[in-house]
């Protein structure tokens, strides 16, 4: 019995003498966990925003979660794989209407987030590098080809021209569509003709 008491006291003594660095590590883990458990309530849509986790190709895990940053509501992005675990600031403000969402557009080394721009008729996309977490491309989405890793989109900053973007080579080709000739038909008199363009590559 005395031996058991001595062992217990020894363990307690060692624990109390743990260095300051170990204490800091535990505190950091606790803060990260608290951020991931944060839930925001959207007053406009009467909806909640909480941590969302997705499994991506190349053994990556994507986590989108709300957090507090100096008393400001922000949205963060976390990418985890076998070798790295990095967290990035996705939005430095919170408005659920403009929130970027993941919709299963996943390439080998990149992934896509979407937003409808706060209720506009267009859907915007952002292409992110899994390794660096950096944004590589953005525009108004038309279509995606996951097999060939291609994106068909409109460039809002380039007179709304249509481009085909190769995710692997990072090259884009302008696609010239004769809208004026097509719009003479009654079935396509509406101004959203570009939304009927799709990628059908095999």
Give the pLDDT band (50/70/90) at residue 195: low
User: Residue 17 has what pLDDT?
Assistant: 44
Helix runs in 43-194, H state only: 179-182
Nearest to 69 by CA among 88, 54, 46, 41: 88
182, containing H or E segment: helix 179-182
Burial environment of residue 83 by CB neighbours within 10 A (0 to 12, 13 to 18, 19 or more) = exposed
What's this model's pTM, rounded to 2 decimal places? 0.72
Note the pLDDT tens digit of each residue in 48-86: 677 889 999 999 999 998 888 787 778 889 999 999 999
User: Residue 121 has what pLDDT?
Assistant: 74
Q: Which residues contact 19 (CB under 8 A, 6 or more apart)?
A: none
The tokens describing 137, both together, are 């491309």
CB 202 within 8 A of CB 146: no
* Integer Cα distance of 143 and 175 in angstroms: 13
Which of 66-75, 76-85, 144-153, 163-172 shows the lowest mean pLDDT across its residues?
66-75
Nearest to 53 by CA among 21, 82, 32, 77: 77
* Integer Cα distance of 57 and 52 in angstroms: 17
Dihedral, 149, 153, 157, 158 alpha carbons, nearest 10: 100
Note the pLDDT tens digit of each residue in 2-31: 444 333 333 344 444 444 444 333 333 333
Give the residue-averaged pLDDT of 150-167.
94
The tokens describing 66, both together, are 């709300």
- Dmax over CA atoms of the chain, in Å, equals 97
Dihedral, 99, 103, 105, 109 alpha carbons, nearest 10: 60
The tokens describing 152, both together, are 């068909």
The tokens describing 16, both together, are 């109390």
């Amino acid at each position: 019995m005395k031996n058991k008491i001595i062992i217990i006291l020894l363990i307690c003594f060692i624990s109390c003498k743990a260095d300051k660095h170990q204490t800091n590590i535990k505190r950091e883990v606790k803060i990260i966990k608290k951020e991931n458990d944060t839930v925001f309530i959207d007053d406009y849509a009467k909806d909640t925003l909480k941590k969302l986790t997705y499994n991506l190709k190349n053994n990556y895990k994507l986590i989108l979660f709300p957090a507090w940053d100096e008393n400001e509501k922000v949205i963060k992005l976390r990418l985890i794989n076998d070798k790295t675990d990095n967290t990035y600031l996705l939005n430095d403000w919170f408005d659920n209407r403009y929130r970027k969402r993941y919709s299963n557009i996943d390439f080998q080394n990149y992934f896509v987030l979407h937003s409808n721009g706060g209720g506009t008729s267009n859907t915007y996309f952002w292409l992110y590098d899994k390794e660096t977490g950096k944004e590589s491309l953005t525009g108004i989405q038309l279509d995606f080809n996951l097999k060939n890793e291609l994106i068909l989109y409109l460039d809002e900053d380039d007179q709304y021209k249509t481009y085909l973007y190769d995710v692997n080579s990072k090259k884009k080709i302008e696609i010239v569509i004769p809208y004026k000739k097509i719009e003479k038909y009654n079935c396509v008199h509406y101004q959203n003709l570009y939304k009927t363009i799709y990628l059908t590559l095999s």
